[in-house]
Structure 1
Amino acid sequence: MKMMKQFISSVLVLGVCLTPLTVPLMVQPSWAQSQNSQIEKLNQLIEQAIQQGQQGQEARQAIETWQQILAIARQLKEKKSEALALNYIGLNYDSLSQPQEALKYYNQALPIMRSAGDRRGEAATLNNIGAAYNSISQPQEALKYFNQALPITQSAGDRKGEAATLSNIGLAYNSISQPQEALKYFNQALPILRQVGNRRGEATTLNNIGLAY
């Protein structure tokens, strides 16, 4: 069974495939002229890092780019870009099968998302933390984070995020040998995935339902 992780603002991961959604919000050049070059560099690096991910380039190379973005974002006190970078670094460490390292970055991103009032980003980060815990065989801990994420996605009207969270809750319940409980969540996720036209996510969820049965 495949855990669903979320790329903040940029892409949503369902199973093992990347589905592009929207380009992250770029930093607006509203700073003083002396800082415009740093803002421009930050935007260029974000574009470069997104392209690296879409082209399937080596995760360590992507981490290096996101680390550069992180340093500039902190220098500019650009909180949303900082949280974006932290999440992407975590996701790349996850792809290198280093969930403990990923958790360090997700846990830095979470309070920033909350302080910025970015509810969708907060929910996606909670999902990523939960997925990391599930991958290190701590499904009960994972459920704590998924259950925090679910009402946020619902109140924000984030249907894609809601479906991912429901599926993740189902997977966590399946991990603790509660397939009947898992089915409740998979069966809630399935019509949402169909509604938003996510065919890959629909197929993943159908497989998960079959495996639970």
Structure 2
Amino acid sequence: MRTFFCSLLPKKEELTPFTTQGEVLEKYGQGVNDQGQVVGMCRPMSNAYLDLLLKGKKPKDYLADDKKFLALSIEEENRELESGESDVDHFAFKENNIPHFDLTIEKNDLTEKTLTDLLEENNHLLITYPQPSADHEIYLGRKNQGRCRFFDANIKGGERKGGCDKLIAEVIDVMKSQYVEEDKPFRVGMGRSG
């Protein structure tokens, strides 16, 4: 007769998908810094997302495991800080040797046409806009003709994919609902790959 000792076998850690940066940071005890200030990681998360795409990896494989995506984002932020670069908002482009251009756009030009035109020439946009406590960064990109993807560390699940018209409208709605300084422009880092 054989006896199986299943309880002695290590249990496979159950994966939990990415929700929002706030929830994930709090879950893993990373939500507040040593000075007691709430931490945000939208920039390194958006750059990590773009970095995965530029390396031919699937972001959904990382977003399926919030711990894995957080670790990747922390590594991204550390590389940004250690690089000494002044343009860490668009670090994924530099890190992958993708030429990119920066553009500053007035808030009244935040339209579907503006973003559609930018995506015609570039398939990756890192967009940074003002919010109450700090600027917020998101990713918008074109997968192929008519299909786009959108990453925002503040929306449930982080990632959206679909028709460009629909996603661009969603990006505009998200930005306008959170944009706080009427007279402050937003910034776009844009690049083309593949």
Q: Same fold (TM over 0.5)?
A: no
More helix by share: 1
More strand by share: 2
Q: Under a length normalisation based on structure 2, what TM-score does the superposition of the two structures give?
A: 0.26
Bigger RCO (CA 8 Å, 6+ sep):
2
Q: Under a length normalisation based on structure 1, what TM-score does the superposition of the two structures give?
A: 0.25
Larger Rg: 2
